[in-house]
Amino acid sequence: MIRRFAVQCFGHLLPLYRRDIVRVSRGDFHHAVAVETIFFVDGAGKVDVAAAACLDSAGNILVTGQSTGVASSFDIVTVKYSPSGEQVWARRYDGASNQADRGSCIVADGQGRVFVGGNSVGPTSYPDMVLLGYSAAGDSLWTLTHAGTGAGEAKPVALQATRDKSGVEQLLVAGYDYNEGTGFDYLLMLLKEE
């Protein structure tokens, strides 16, 4: 269902409607964006927040974020829409601790596989990094978690799907984690397909 929507850009709320043109201007930066469609997802819970979106090579729209679960706190929710706006699939991830899980970044590779980064409150009561891999059909491929060595958050903020020189698929993850003695540190991971 398409509803009236507003987006915050440079501290200003811009009302958006289907097929609007949004002009964004700040200093020397001027840009016009054609808004084809705005989707509103109303999940099972009271809070549904999109944190990141991307397009795959077929033009499908992929969105991740968080949504209140029926019997849990926030869950990572990932939704795939066709280019025409029809929902293809939706997946929820509720971590082992059944506490707050939040999606923060998403990317699709050339095969249409979807990779989601976020964090999930783990056994230490601090948010651990979680990476989720889905097939183009939405089947779960793998889940990877990472916790820093200290009492603090670990979180991915950007993902890039690419190939190495020999054509092997790989996923570059940028983020941060908290470690005893050094505090918050950059975190870079390179995951390669075997």
DSSP 2-19: ---EEEEETTEEEEE-TT
Cα angle for residues 13, 17, 23 (degrees, 5° grid):
55
Superfamily of domain 42-192: TolB, C-terminal domain (2.120.10.30)
**DSSP alpha helix (H) spans, 74-155:** none
Strands of the sheet with 101-108, listed across from one edge: 101-108, 114-121, 127-134, 140-146
CA atoms of 162 and 185, how far apart (whole Å): 24
Residues of the chain with CATH 2.120.10.30: 42-192
Q: Spell out the per-residue pLDDT of the chain, length 194, in tens.
A: 333 343 433 333 334 444 444 444 455 544 444 444 455 555 555 777 889 999 999 999 999 999 887 777 889 999 999 988 888 999 999 988 888 899 999 999 999 999 999 999 877 788 889 999 999 999 999 999 988 777 788 899 999 999 989 988 899 999 998 888 888 888 899 998 77
Residues facing 76 on adjacent strands: 66, 93
